[in-house]
């Protein structure tokens, strides 16, 4: 860990100059307490650095959570072994079954709701009504978004651990409705700061204070979107479990299920004060708490438990972190290089995934080495099936 000034602690061995400058700007906001923590996978974000943990007193910066509110991981360990999945069976048919069961890509939603999705939608509807707002004002079709993956770095995978046990896991968040909620409140914060003549190092560090109605409206909708993301992952993993059961002809027995956010805000106590902790690309890592830290497609992922490192604000990295922007990756790498990186993994061979090639990301093993005092690795996973949206 490296201290950068009074208000910034850094766990990233590799930290670009522009990322450091961005983190220093956020750490300099007057309500940071006690300091901002940069995770080992830190890289440049919009306003606030991806891979940062931002504790604030009496204020929140909506862009410090980001536009994919509640984005995170869910993982299920099954009773199956790799041999049972590979022994004469076609993994391609399983991949296609999952692709049919879960709508993929940006703007692709359900045409109708399953019974389980309907129950989850009713739960979310009741919460919104209790909090006095209508999610339909952000996205009229929000109900049909529950149980959908999205695109970019969101994925579904079948993986095996160090004992060849099969895991099912996926990465997604609050979809379009969460994005609309975030964008609206980011704009509100910017308007209010401008009205009060607040001088900001970056307009995306605009904030809301807890003595305003706008603050509490944001918190209510933020918490709702975080629950939407949690239930969205639950709905999708249940569909993946059903696909596996139909494909293998045996019910799945779940030995572990882990569902964790890595873009979220919640109330916590640190260094003697109650603060709002915004983790933008970081997981909570309190003592013994299970989490999932994915690599990129084609590299290892990790199931971990927290070590409650106080200086890190009980936090840990959320993944590998990008080395190349999406446009730079598409210019730099070739489809043949992607095929080589995905050798032995069943995936849809498409040039659309070139910006997700493993070489576009930081080395996940370096990230995990830098996180040694933040989490304990309990399982190391490698994928055998990968599903992504365009």
Catalytically annotated residues: 318
Cβ 82 vs Cβ 164: under 8 Å: yes
Cα torsion 317, 174, 203, 17 to 10°: value is: 20
**Residue 29 to residues 43, 57, 82, Cα–Cα distance (Å):** 19, 11, 50
Cβ 226 vs Cβ 232: under 8 Å: no
CA distance 134 to 125: 8
- The torsion angles phi and psi of 270, rounded to 5 degrees, stand at -140, 135
Which of 260, 349, 274 minimizes the C-alpha distance to 306?
A: 260
- The torsion angles phi and psi of 259, rounded to 5 degrees, stand at -135, 110
CA distance 363 to 376: 18
Half-sphere exposure of 2 (CA within 13 A, CB side): 12
């Amino acid at each position: 860990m490296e201290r950068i000034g009074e208000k910034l602690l850094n766990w990233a061995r590799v930290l670009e100059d522009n990322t450091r400058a961005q983190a220093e700007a956020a750490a300099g906001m007057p309500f940071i307490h006690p300091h901002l923590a940069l995770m080992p996978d830190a890289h440049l974000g919009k306003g606030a650095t991806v891979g940062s943990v931002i504790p604030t007193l009496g204020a929140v910066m909506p862009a410090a959570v980001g536009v994919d509110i509640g984005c995170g991981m869910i993982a299920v360990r099954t009773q199956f072994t790799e041999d049972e999945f590979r022994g004469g069976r076609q993994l391609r048919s399983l991949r296609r079954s999952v692709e049919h069961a879960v709508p993929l890509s940006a703007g692709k939603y359900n045409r109708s709701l399953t019974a389980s999705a309907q129950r989850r939608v009713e739960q979310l509807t009741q919460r919104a009504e209790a909090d006095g707002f209508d999610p339909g004002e952000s996205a009229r079709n929000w109900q049909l978004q529950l149980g959908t993956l999205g695109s970019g770095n969101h994925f579904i995978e079948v993986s095996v651990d160090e004992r060849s046990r099969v895991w099912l896991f996926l990465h997604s968040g609050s979809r379009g409705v969460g994005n609309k909620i975030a964008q609206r409140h980011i704009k509100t914060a910017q308007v209010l700061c401008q009205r009060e003549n607040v001088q900001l190092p970056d307009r995306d560090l605009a904030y809301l204070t807890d003595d305003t109605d706008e603050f509490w409206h944001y918190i209510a909708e933020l918490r709702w979107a975080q629950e939407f993301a949690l239930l969205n992952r639950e709905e999708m993993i249940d569909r993946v479990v059903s696909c596996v059961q139909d494909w293998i002809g045996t019910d799945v027995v779940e030995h572990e299920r882990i569902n964790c956010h890595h873009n979220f805000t919640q109330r916590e106590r640190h260094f003697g004060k109650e603060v709002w902790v915004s983790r933008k690309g970081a997981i909570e890592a309190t003592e013994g708490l299970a989490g999932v830290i994915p690599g990129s497609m084609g590299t290892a992922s990790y199931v971990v438990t927290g070590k409650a490192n106080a200086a890190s604000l009980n936090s840990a990295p959320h993944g590998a972190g990008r080395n190349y922007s999406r446009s730079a990756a598409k210019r730099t790498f070739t489809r043949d290089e992607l095929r080589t990186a995905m050798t032995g993994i069943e995936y849809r061979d498409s040039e659309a995934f070139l910006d997700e090639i493993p070489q576009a990301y930081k080395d996940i093993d370096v990230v995990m080495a830098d996180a040694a005092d933040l989490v304990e690795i309990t399982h190391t996973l490698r994928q055998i099936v990968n599903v992504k949206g365009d």
